């Protein structure tokens, strides 16, 4: 690891240590926060006891469904918008201001339409994740340098070779930005909607623990969610960097 | 070209209205209200004084959150951008924090700040601050070195350097960050009102779900969408103008 990496680690560890000391010495009341070490123990116990196995399962399935729909849907919609100039001119102003409307305000309406189940949650998560994939797909396709396509034509590259050897690798950096954002937005969408109103899910369990003053469980679950999200984001980052290196070699 | 663009926009809006009407016809009035009735309900909500305290509370929370996010984000970003090692250390941390579901932290904020205005403000600011920080960091770091070299060749004082070079060079990027921060802060503030709140826009929405009052839900959504789209278009127009000026 680089020197900066070590400093970064030290900062995170230092922050956790300060929090631990503050909580242990009761400067921060236990009613507000429990020491980080206890959060981790509680997270481990929640996992080991299997008490909320079903909630984790439901959340993970919803998140994965939303990710799959956002990425595939976003890619193909982006492709369609890129290839049809009239559609593009129509939609572009709205894409630019899409994220100014918090999708979560539609959740109440979706609950009235579909009831309290997984469908509104997945729709909200897709509303969060889809458009960033669309925007980044268009961005990526825009940035393919014409000279690359010309070189392909000079070498009489077939359609498939052009797509897989030239277009995709050239657009890849932006596609990966889209994928990374779609993943984290899908997680945010699912957990948020579970949090507001739901019958199952990790988000629901956090708000349930909050309502029943069960700080230990609540902080354990929060640590769990943040841990899962960080792990997912970081592995995606490492994987995309590796793929990018191979494609742009 | 301008005429053509407005034609496209009009087509899109018509398509949305037609879709809305078709959905209304197929699901019926218990699930959706038609466009016209929703607009009427929205004007009723906006003109009846009972709702003003709720809207006022939301707007106040949003504005305070936006100011905090902007001030903290810009200052932090400028420092991180100007002091390179510090930026190198902190930037990946910011990227990780940015991608976390901050919703999970809302109970912590509620416990720390209590129920009321400040929990919403802090939650809203928390959403907006990181994107603003990341883009002002990038703004400072990406100042064209030619500018700084030229300024040094002309023996500009430090103050002149800041006033004539750094600020004009950074403003477009920082403004773009503010535009993203605006939307995210709005999201955070509204979300803060959904959960454990007694006043505000989000509270009205949650209350309407409990009453299954579809008219109010749709009218409130319409108000928010119109507000968000208008303010974001205005910010986008300013943003484009700032970027065009900088050649």
- What are the pLDDT digits (tens) for A119-135? 999 999 999 999 999 99
- CB distance B12–A187 less than 8 Å? no
Share of chain B above pLDDT 70, in %: 99
Q: What is the ipTM of this complex?
A: 0.79
DSSP category for residue A161 = H
Interface check for B236 against chain A (CB to CB < 8 A): the answer is yes
Q: Contact A47/A224 with Cβ under 8 angstroms? A: yes
B189-224 in b/e form (b: 16+ CB < 10 A) is: bbbbbbbbbebbbbbbbbbbbeeebbbbbbbbbbbb
Residue of B92, B196, B229 lying closest to A101 (CB–CB): B229
Show which of residues 28-67 on chain A sit within 8 Å of chain B, judged by CB atoms. Answer: 31-33
- CB distance B9–A90 less than 8 Å? yes
Q: How many CB atoms lie within 10 A of CB A149?
A: 15
Q: Which residue has the higher pLDDT, A171 or B63?
A: B63
- CB distance A112–B9 less than 8 Å? no
pLDDT at position A6 over 60? yes
pLDDT at position A37 over 70? yes
Token pair for A91: 């939609």
Instruction: Tell me the per-residue pLDDT of A52-79, one tens digit each, with 9 for 90 and over.
Output: 888 889 999 999 999 999 999 999 999 9
- CB distance B99–A184 less than 8 Å? yes
CA distance B214 to A218: 33
Q: How many CB atoms lie within 10 A of CB A161?
A: 13
Q: Label residue B244 exposed, middle or buried (CB < 10 Å: 0-12, 13-18, 19+).
A: exposed
Cite the DSSP H helix spans in B32-166.
35-47, 52-82, 84-99, 106-113, 117-141, 145-153, 158-160
pLDDT at position A41 over 60? yes
Residue of A12, A100, A111 lying closest to B228 (CB–CB): A100
Least confidently predicted of A51-65, B11-25, B51-65, B88-102: B88-102
DSSP category for residue A104 = G
- CB distance A105–B221 less than 8 Å? yes
pLDDT score for A249: 61
CA distance A70 to A126: 5
């Amino acid at each position: 690891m680089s020197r900066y990496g070590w400093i970064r680690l030290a900062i995170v560890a230092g922050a956790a240590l300060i929090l631990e000391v503050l909580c242990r010495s009761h400067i921060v009341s236990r009613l507000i926060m429990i020491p980080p070490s206890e959060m981790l123990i509680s997270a481990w116990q929640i996992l080991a006891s299997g008490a909320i196995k079903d909630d984790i399962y439901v959340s993970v399935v919803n998140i994965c469904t939303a990710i799959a729909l956002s990425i595939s849907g976003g890619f193909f919609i982006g492709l369609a918008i890129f290839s049809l100039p009239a559609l593009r001119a129509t939609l572009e102003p709205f894409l630019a201001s899409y994220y100014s409307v918090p999708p979560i305000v539609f959740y109440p309406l979706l609950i009235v339409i579909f009831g309290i189940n997984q469908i509104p949650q997945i729709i909200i998560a897709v509303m969060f994740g889809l458009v960033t994939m669309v925007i980044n797909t268009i961005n990526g396709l825009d940035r393919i340098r014409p000279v690359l396509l010309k070189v392909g034509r000079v070498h009489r590259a077939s359609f498939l070779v052009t797509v897989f050897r030239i277009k995709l690798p050239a657009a890849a950096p932006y596609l990966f930005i889209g994928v990374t954002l779609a993943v984290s937005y899908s997680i945010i969408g699912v957990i948020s909607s579970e949090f507001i109103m739901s019958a199952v899910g990790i988000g629901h369990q956090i708000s349930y623990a909050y309502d029943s003053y069960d700080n230990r469980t609540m902080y354990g679950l929060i640590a769990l969610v943040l841990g899962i999200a960080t792990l997912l984001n970081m592995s995606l980052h490492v994987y995309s960097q590796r793929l990018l290196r191979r494609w742009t070699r | 070209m301008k005429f053509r663009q407005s034609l496209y926009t009009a087509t899109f809006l018509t398509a949305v209205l037609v879709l809305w009407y078709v959905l209304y016809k197929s699901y019926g009035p218990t699930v959706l209200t038609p466009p016209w009735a929703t607009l009427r309900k929205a004007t009723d909500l906006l003109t009846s004084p009972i709702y003003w305290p709720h809207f006022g509370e939301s707007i106040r929370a949003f504005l305070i959150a936006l100011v905090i996010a902007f001030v903290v984000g810009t200052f932090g970003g400028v420092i991180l951008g100007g002091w390179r090692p510090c930026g190198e250390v902190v930037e990946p941390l910011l990227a990780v924090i940015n991608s976390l579901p901050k919703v999970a932290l809302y109970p912590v904020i509620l416990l720390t700040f209590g129920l009321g205005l400040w929990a919403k403000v802090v939650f809203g600011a928390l959403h907006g601050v990181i994107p603003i920080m990341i883009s002002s960091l990038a703004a400072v770091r990406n100042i064209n070195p030619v500018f700084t070299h030229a300024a040094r060749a002309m023996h500009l004082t430090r103050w002149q350097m800041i006033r004539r070079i750094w600020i004009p060079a950074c403003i477009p990027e920082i403004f773009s960050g503010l535009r993203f921060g605006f939307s995210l802060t709005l999201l955070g503030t509204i979300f803060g009102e959904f959960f454990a709140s007694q006043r505000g826009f989000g509270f009205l929405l949650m209350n309407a779900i409990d009453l299954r009052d579809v008219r109010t839900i749709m009218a409130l959504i319409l108000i928010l969408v119109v507000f968000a789209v208008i303010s974001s278009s205005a910010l986008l127009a300013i943003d484009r103008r700032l970027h065009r000026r900088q050649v």
